Amino acid sequence: MSKIKKYITRDGSMRIAAVISTEIANEAFSFREASPLVKTLMSRAVTGALLMASQMKENLAVGLHFTGIGPVKEIFAEARYEGKAKVYAGDRGAELVPGETHLGAGLGEGFLEVVRSLPFQKEPHRGTVGLLTGEIGEDIAYYLQQSQQIPCIVALSAIPSEKGIEIAGGYILELMPGYSEETLSKLESLQPLVGSLTQKLKTGAQAEDLIGIYLDHFDFQEIEHPFELSYECGCSLERVERSLLLLGPSVLDDMITSQEDAVIHCEFCGKEYRLKVPHLSSLRDSLRAPLH
Ligand SMILES: [Zn+2]
C-alpha cells in the first residue's frame, strides 16, 4: 500500500499532505460494490480523512460525517494518524436523479460534522458546518477555513471503474498561522497553472506529482510519514452486542420471539456476525440486571 507524502515550507508558513489512495479506497468495495456515484464520494471522503489525520499526532483520529437529504443519505470516513482508515455510505446503491449531473446532489443539502480526537482528552472535539457543495473536497475546505480562519486548498478525486475504482488521490494544502501576504498572493498566482487533479491521476502520477507545482515554487522540505495505508475496521462481537443493546428491550424481545438468528453485517468491512437466539436472550437478560 502507498504512503502519505508530507511537506512543510522551511519558514513554516505552509504545509501539504498528498496521497494516492487507490488501494485503500478499493478495500471499501472489496466486500460489497457501490454505485459509481457512491464509490466516488466514499473514495474522496476516505482520502480526505487520511490527509487530515496525517497532520494530527500519534494515536489520534479524525471522523468525517457527511449527512444530507440526497439519495446517498450519509457518508462516514474515519482515519488515524498511522494511516488506518475505514468508510461507509448510507445507501451504496444510490444514483443521481435523471438529468442531474452535479455529484454533490448525491448528498444534497446537509452537514459535515468533523470529530477529532485530542491529545490527553477523553472527549473528542466536534465541529459542524453546512455542506457547501456535497462534493466532499469543497466541504472539507470550507470546514477547515471556518474552524481555523486560514486559507487552504483541498483537492480530492476518484474515478470509478466497473469493479471498485480505477484511481483515487488528492492533497490538502494549508497556510499556517503567521503566513505572509506575499505567500498568499504567490499561491493565488499559481492557481491557473495547477491543472486537473483527475488528469494527473489518470496519467499515473505519484503523490508528489500531484503537488509538483507547489513543490517547485516554494521552499518545501519533506516530513517523513512512514506509515503504510491500511483499511482497518476494528469491529468485534462485543461492539455488535453493544449496538444491539442500544436498540432496547422491546426490539430484542421481537428478535427473540421470531426464533431466528440475528445476522448483522458490519457496514465498514462486510464481516458477518450471527447471534443465535440463546445469545440474544442472554443479552436481553443483561438489561434486566439490577443497577449497582
Ligand atoms: Zn467491520
- Ligand 1 centre from 107 Cα, in Å? 23
pLDDT band at 210 (very low <50, low <70, confident <90, very high): very high
Same domain, 119 and 197: yes
Examine the fold and report which residue of 231, 248, 264 is the final residue of a domain before the chain moves on: 231
The DSSP secondary-structure symbol of 166 reads: E
Beta pairing class for 84-89 and 230-231: parallel
- Ligand 1 centre from 87 Cα, in Å? 10
Cell 478525486, residue?
A: 157
Same domain, 70 and 172: yes
Same domain, 279 and 207: no
Of 81, 55, 51, the C-alpha closest to 169 is: 51
Instruction: Identify the pLDDT of residue 209.
Output: 96
pLDDT band at 33 (very low <50, low <70, confident <90, very high): very high
| Mean predicted confidence (pLDDT) in 253-276 | 92
- Ligand 1 centre from 262 Cα, in Å? 16
- Ligand 1 centre from 117 Cα, in Å? 20
Which DSSP string corresponds to 68-84?
ESSTT-EEEEEEETTSE
Same domain, 66 and 147: yes
Instruction: Identify the pLDDT of residue 148.
Output: 86
Cα–Cα distance measured from residue 16 to residue 220, given in angstroms and rounded to the nearest whole number: 9
Same domain, 274 and 218: no
- Ligand 1 centre from 271 Cα, in Å? 6
Rounded to two decimals, the pTM is 0.93
- Ligand 1 centre from 239 Cα, in Å? 10
- Ligand 1 centre from 28 Cα, in Å? 10
Same domain, 106 and 183: yes
- Ligand 1 centre from 258 Cα, in Å? 26
E strand spans, 2-106: 5-9, 14-20, 61-68, 74-80, 84-89
User: Which residues are found with C-beta within 5 Å of the ion, ligand 1?
Assistant: 233, 235, 266, 268-269, 271
Of 155, 229, 223, the C-alpha closest to 6 is: 223
pLDDT digits (tens, 9 = 90+) for 228-247: 999 999 999 999 999 889 98
Non-local (6+) Cβ contacts of 207 within 8 A are: 2, 3, 4, 5, 18, 19, 20, 169, 171
pLDDT digits (tens, 9 = 90+) for 133-148: 999 999 999 999 999 8
Look up residue 89 and give its three cell numbers. Answer: 455510505
Instruction: Identify the pLDDT of residue 291.
Output: 56
The half-sphere exposure of 124 on its side-chain side, counting CA atoms within 13 A, is: 13
- Ligand 1 centre from 45 Cα, in Å? 18
- Ligand 1 centre from 76 Cα, in Å? 13
- Ligand 1 centre from 234 Cα, in Å? 6
pLDDT band at 107 (very low <50, low <70, confident <90, very high): very high
- Ligand 1 centre from 232 Cα, in Å? 8
The DSSP secondary-structure symbol of 153 reads: E
- Ligand 1 centre from 265 Cα, in Å? 8
Examine the fold and report which residue of 231, 246, 274 is the final residue of a domain before the chain moves on: 231
Cα–Cα distance measured from residue 196 to residue 193, given in angstroms and rounded to the nearest whole number: 9
| Mean predicted confidence (pLDDT) in 250-262 | 91
- Ligand 1 centre from 170 Cα, in Å? 25
Same domain, 192 and 60: yes
The half-sphere exposure of 208 on its side-chain side, counting CA atoms within 13 A, is: 10
The whole-chain average pLDDT of the chain stands at: 94
pLDDT at 292 over 60: no
pLDDT digits (tens, 9 = 90+) for 52-72: 999 999 999 999 999 999 999
pLDDT band at 97 (very low <50, low <70, confident <90, very high): very high
Same domain, 196 and 65: yes
Same domain, 256 and 220: no
Yes or no: say if 110 and 46 are a contact pair by the CB < 8 Å rule.
no
- Ligand 1 centre from 149 Cα, in Å? 36
Instruction: Identify the pLDDT of residue 287.
Output: 84
Question: What percent of the chain stands above pLDDT 90?
Answer: 89
- Ligand 1 centre from 223 Cα, in Å? 32
pLDDT at 290 over 70: no
Domain count, the chain: 2
Question: What percent of the chain stands above pLDDT 70?
Answer: 99
CATH, residue 261: 3.90.1280.10
Cα–Cα distance measured from residue 49 to residue 65, given in angstroms and rounded to the nearest whole number: 10
- Note the maximum CA span of the chain: 70
- Ligand 1 centre from 146 Cα, in Å? 32
- Ligand 1 centre from 69 Cα, in Å? 26
Instruction: Identify the pLDDT of residue 114.
Output: 97
Q: What are the backbone angles phi and psi of residue 167, rounded to the nearest 5°?
A: -160, 150
Same domain, 222 and 242: no
pLDDT at 117 over 60: yes
Instruction: Identify the pLDDT of residue 120.
Output: 79
pLDDT digits (tens, 9 = 90+) for 71-96: 999 999 999 999 999 999 999 999 99
| Mean predicted confidence (pLDDT) in 103-118 | 95
pLDDT band at 288 (very low <50, low <70, confident <90, very high): confident
Q: How far is CA 274 from the centre of its chain?
A: 28
For residue 156, the enclosing domain spans 5-231
Cα–Cα distance measured from residue 39 to residue 30, given in angstroms and rounded to the nearest whole number: 12
Same domain, 211 and 247: no
CATH, residue 163: 3.55.30.10
Same domain, 223 and 249: no
